[in-house]
Amino acid sequence: MHIDVSVRQGVVRGQQSGGVATFLGVPYAAPPMGPLRLRPPQPVRPWEGVRPVLDAGPSAPQRALDSFAGLDAFAVTGARWRRGDDYLTLNVWAPVDAAARPVVVYVHGGGLVLGTKDAAVYDGTAFARDGVVAVAMNYRLGVEGFVPIPGAPTNLGLRDVIAALRWLQDNVAAFGGDAGNVTVVGESGGAMLVACLVSSPLSVGLFRRAVVQSGHGSAVYPVSIAERTTMALARALSVTPDAEGFRSVPPERAVQALHKVSRPGTLDLRDANGFDPSFGLGVVNPVHGDDVLPVHPLLALERGAGADVDLLIGTTATEASYWFGPTRLSWLPTGISRRLLRRIAPRADELFDAYAEQATSRAERRGGAVLARVLTDMAFRWPARQFAAAHQGRTHVYEFDWASPAAGGRMGAAHGLELPFVFDTLTSTTGRRGMTGMSAPQELADYVHGTWVRFVTDGHLSWPTFDSQTRAVHQLAARTTISEPVMPAAAYTPVVAPMTV
């Protein structure tokens, strides 16, 4: 059955079933192509008549994954790039006849280079079933969204997310949502963006709560370092390193060039101290020093930015097992593992030894297994705790500690594994090639999804807030709150130097 809703630009037509109204591919900004390519997001032109929003529509230019190490990646990545210009759109799932309901807005992951709002795992039906208006959005990725190009605004992908949140302030009431009760949620690259939004002066008043899943505010570059990617791309494309040069090539070529320069060992994005906040996991990140992020996000938090935002932040227990378990990188010899770490972190041998000393079995002493634990903490768990400690508002920390039996039991509590539990979409990741294996626990999905529903509804959580002394971390599978010790990564993570105002 069709259902019509009037937004400020016109009437959109979705469909309803089982008490949930679904609207797919609703435009929140004009297509960022042609004269609008590499420019700030622009308003949608009003339309006449009824605009059907029954199909998800295009996704941002990208080189998406079909599978990863034999596991089905479609559920999380949304399969291949769906071409088309009009991709700055969002999906809405709402309870039928809703009014003033809480709103959850999801910013998808994918390392800021791939992904889409339309991945099966992000289906918002369960949130709508439980009384929440759920939204998922696309934004510009890769070269179009995050590479700093002279002559073009920086952080265009972040500007897209801000534009979507502003559009929702004007229009979400039409779908039954409360514009004063918005929670923005992100995972992985999307979580990095949400963390940046918490600290950004441009997002003040656009949301009341934030959930940062396997992300933090430390994976940002000063423009001077990020421009190394710009220069490498310009060389690969044989264009001038400016907006005119990049506009002269089609998005397909830019995507291919980014894939080329992203190969391990191609770019050195370490700072003067030998530190790369991405730890070799990517070459594209937000930049600070502009109007979106005037200073490093941790400095902004320490100065009080985002203090009025309730924050839920956390990670999985073994983040890097996503890359190391299914691929058997955990079997890497110690010598190779040490050399790899030296390419991305200072004092690499000391850092490696600190984690090797924690090994309690022969398997844990393998070089790749040690490297996986280092990357789990250095790239995810410790900077998430740093962000929690710097945030001056109400802050809770969780850890997703359920280990998947997939990949012969090597998947562990891997990066992204909490997503089907948060959205209550376990069927999308269940099966012989699914990330959660053959029989993931529905009762855990009920608990995790219910926890997120309560938080986005009124900010309620059942465990104590986090501070640097008590260090309360709630383990979701164990349903236990621990006082987490400071991890070895703390001694090897650069402190963001204070800056004068």
Domain boundaries, the chain: 2-319+377-404+440-492
Instruction: Quote the tokens at residue 395.
Output: 């802050």
The verdict on whether 17 is a catalytic residue reads no
Model pTM? 0.96
User: What mean pLDDT is predicted for residues 433-453?
Assistant: 95
Structure confidence by residue, pLDDT tens digits, 9-60: 999 999 999 999 999 999 999 999 999 999 999 999 999 999 999 999 999 9
**Between 145 and 363, whose confidence is greater?**
145
* Phi and psi, residue 162, nearest 5°: -65, -40
Catalytic residue, chosen from 59, 144, 188, 302, is 188
| Percentage of the chain exceeding pLDDT 90 | 85
Confidence bin at 138 (pLDDT 50/70/90): very high
Summary mean pLDDT of the chain: 94
Residue 277 and residue 267: Cα distance in Å, rounded?
14
pLDDT in the model for residue 500 = 31
Rounded distance between C-alpha atoms, residue 501 and residue 493, angstroms: 24
Question: CA 403 to CA 119: how far, in whole Å?
Answer: 22
- Catalytic-role residue among 144, 187, 227, 319: 319
Tell me which of 326 and 89 has the higher pLDDT. 89
Cα–Cα distance for residue pair 309/396, rounded to 1 Å? 12
How do residues 268-290 score in pLDDT, each as one tens digit? 999 988 889 988 888 999 999 99
Write the CB contacts of 431 (distance below 8 Å, at least 6 apart in sequence): 72, 438
Q: What tens digit of pLDDT does each residue of 71-92 get? A: 776 677 776 789 999 999 999 9
Q: What span, in angstroms and rounded, lies between the C-alpha atoms of 500 and 333?
A: 45
Catalytic residue at 415? yes
Q: What integer is the mean pLDDT of 177-185? A: 98
Interior/surface letters 336-362, b for 16+ CB within 10 angstroms, e for the rest: ebbebbeebbebbeebbebbbeeeeee
Tell me the helices (H) and strands (E) count for the chain, helix number first.
17, 17
| Cα 142 to Cα 285: distance, rounded to the nearest angstrom | 9
Q: What is the DSSP letter of 431?
A: S
SS3 27: strand
Supply the DSSP symbol for 487: P
Query: Catalytic annotation on 428?
Result: no
Alpha-carbon gap, residue 37 to 213, rounded angstroms: 30
- The strand pairing partners of 90, in sequence order, are 26, 137
pLDDT of residue 67: 61
- Which of the following is catalytic: 296, 391, 415, 474? 415
3-state secondary structure (DSSP) of residue 235: helix
What is the CATH number assigned to the segment(s) 2-319+377-404+440-492? 3.40.50.1820
Average pLDDT over residues 186-195: 97
CA distances from 110 to 138, 243, 257, 473 (A): 12, 25, 18, 26
